[in-house]
Amino acid sequence: MTKVTQEIDLYKKLLEKYKEIVLLNNITMNIYWDMDTYMPEKGVEQRSEELAIISGLIHEKTIDPEIGALLEEIKANENYEKLTPVEKRNIYLFQRDYDRNTKIPKELVEAISKQSALGNSIWKKAFAESDYELFKPELIKIFKLMKKFANYLDPSKDPYDVLLDLNEPGFTREIVDGLFEELRDGLKPLIKAIVNSPKQPDYSLIERACPKDIQEKLSKELAKVTNYDLNAGRIDETVHPFTTGYYDDVRVTTNYHLDDFSSSFFSVLHEIGHALYEQYLPQKHKYQPVGYSCSNGFHESQSRFIENFIGRSSEFWQYFLPKLKEITGGIFEDVELDPFVRAINRVIPSKIRVEADPVTYSMHVIIRHEIEKDLFAGKISFDDLPQIWNSKMKEYLGMDIENDAEGLLQDVHWSGGGFSSFPSYAIGNIIDGQLLWKMDQEIPDWRKDIEKGDLNKVLDWLKTKVHQMGNLYDPLELVKKITGEELSTKYYLNYLRKEYSRIYELK
Ligand code: ZN
């Protein structure tokens, strides 16, 4: 056997190992989906045993020493340099995963998972009783464990940077700080001008009783207009909407509010944006490390692009308002395009992140990030967190927070150690602004198509530029590859200023 074929055999063997892990992970995703949708109440214990055995199997597969040996052998082989960039990227990504999985002692993995479960149940109670003091000891425990976790991964780096890198490879606290400071300083005067504008939209145009079966029809119509393939997907109901899946089986969920159709309408568009990314990943890279999305931030950029840039645009509603009237019967018969578009773009500062509008949303993320990084830097104490949260909410959004449930405790992430996972939400917005700027240059007439309900050009553009790239590049590289420029907040801020100056008739 020649060296070259030997090399190919090793690479093939490595990818076979990877495929097994992907398949097992997919099984787990389906199990979780079922738990959130249709699993009967009594099934819970049986299910937790099923989950335990499968996560044990996955763990064994991911730390298999043969993977490490194969990776070493391939990289030491004299033909390594002859591999294609895609093959090399696969090896790099698999090595990165393997290192992450093998560097952490089993005891620490178990301690984190135990503390997450405990922390989550206590968070629920603390949230219900709006009592930060109840949650604080658990928060401190998981914080220490996650710091340890970061130290095992890379003791030479700031723990916050290590954790951030898991969600957004290549980003550091410094980069996020720079972007978020610009974004914060740009948003502050805009939000102030909007809130003080005498031209406030009439939201009663939206808040009208709309039965569930009609809203379900709207969801189906949205799937059609966005090319979300329902033969490779589904739309079901859960308390919190989400997307889960891989290539040919990507499912979304939503939550129908009977007195405000827009809540489910935009959440369906949002989740479809996520789902399209997964459905349009390159088939040729299925079951390979490069056959995944780029980062959480990029994923969020895709959902928000469809939800906000498309779904809240006046061009889209030029097409969709007559459809809405037709599908909903007489409910919106009297509604006219312009006031309706203004209403669905209403900006109203909220205490709750997940209820925030597109303009104020990033502020919630920025506040969380500022607190997280100061915690990791040891600049603030756990005792002061609620008060710091409340004063930032007052300063940035003018909100008076009256209790911990509507303040610091509103998000579940920290209870499971999800520090550094928040920046991705706002990074998605920033990426979006830059993508839109580039798309405007490359397909300047796209808005004319949207007016006719034809999203093909836009979807093709996102597919080619983002989805089909899979995980070939880290997020900052991919932004540069697509737009030719480093990631910057200016395009997103420009978009917001232009859009909302029109809606609120700002000077
Ligand atoms: Zn999302």
pLDDT of the chain along its 507 residues, tens only? 445 556 568 999 999 999 999 999 999 999 999 999 999 989 988 998 998 899 889 999 999 999 999 999 999 999 899 999 999 999 999 999 999 999 999 899 889 989 998 999 999 999 999 999 999 999 999 999 999 999 999 999 999 999 999 999 999 999 999 999 999 999 999 999 999 999 999 999 999 999 999 999 999 999 999 999 999 999 999 989 999 999 999 999 999 999 999 999 999 999 999 999 999 999 999 999 999 999 999 999 999 999 999 999 999 999 999 999 999 999 999 999 999 999 999 999 999 999 999 999 999 999 999 999 999 999 999 999 999 999 999 999 999 999 999 999 999 999 999 999 999 999 999 999 999 999 999 999 999 999 999 999 999 999 999 999 999 999 999 999 999 999 999 999 999 999 999 999 998
Q: How far is ligand 1, taken at its centre, from the CA of residue 312, in Å?
A: 16
Strand segments, DSSP code E, in 255-338 are none
Q: How far is ligand 1, taken at its centre, from the CA of residue 293, in Å?
A: 13
């089986």: which residue's tokens? 249
Q: How far is ligand 1, taken at its centre, from the CA of residue 238, in Å?
A: 15
> For 75, what's the count of Cα atoms within 13 Å in the CB-facing half-sphere?
13
pLDDT of residue 507: 81
Contacts of 109 (CB under 8 A, 6+ apart): 59
Q: How far is ligand 1, taken at its centre, from the CA of residue 303, in Å?
A: 6
Provide the Cα torsion 309, 311, 316, 321; round to 10°. -150
Residue of 246, 197, 238, 191 whose CA lies nearest to 356: 191
Q: How far is ligand 1, taken at its centre, from the CA of residue 208, in Å?
A: 26
Q: How far is ligand 1, taken at its centre, from the CA of residue 177, in Å?
A: 22
List the strands of the sheet with 233-237, edge to edge.
233-237, 249-254, 243-246
Q: Which residues are catalytic?
A: 271
pLDDT of residue 163: 97
Strand segments, DSSP code E, in 31-153 are none
Q: How far is ligand 1, taken at its centre, from the CA of residue 437, in Å?
A: 21
Q: How far is ligand 1, taken at its centre, from the CA of residue 311, in Å?
A: 15
Q: How far is ligand 1, taken at its centre, from the CA of residue 278, in Å?
A: 13
Q: How far is ligand 1, taken at its centre, from the CA of residue 392, in Å?
A: 24
Query: Rounded distance, CA 124 to CA 116, Å?
Result: 12
**b/e burial code for range 31-59 (CB count within 10 A of at least 16 → b):** eebebbeeeeeeeeeebeeeeeeeeeebe
Q: How far is ligand 1, taken at its centre, from the CA of residue 304, in Å?
A: 7
* pTM for the full predicted model: 0.95
Contacts of 68 (CB under 8 A, 6+ apart): 98, 102
Query: Rounded distance, CA 419 to CA 32, Å?
Result: 22
Q: How far is ligand 1, taken at its centre, from the CA of residue 365, in Å?
A: 13
Q: How far is ligand 1, taken at its centre, from the CA of residue 253, in Å?
A: 12
Q: How far is ligand 1, taken at its centre, from the CA of residue 17, in Å?
A: 30
Strand segments, DSSP code E, in 177-335 are 233-237, 243-246, 249-254
Residue of 322, 419, 320, 324 whose CA lies nearest to 377: 419
Q: How far is ligand 1, taken at its centre, from the CA of residue 334, in Å?
A: 33
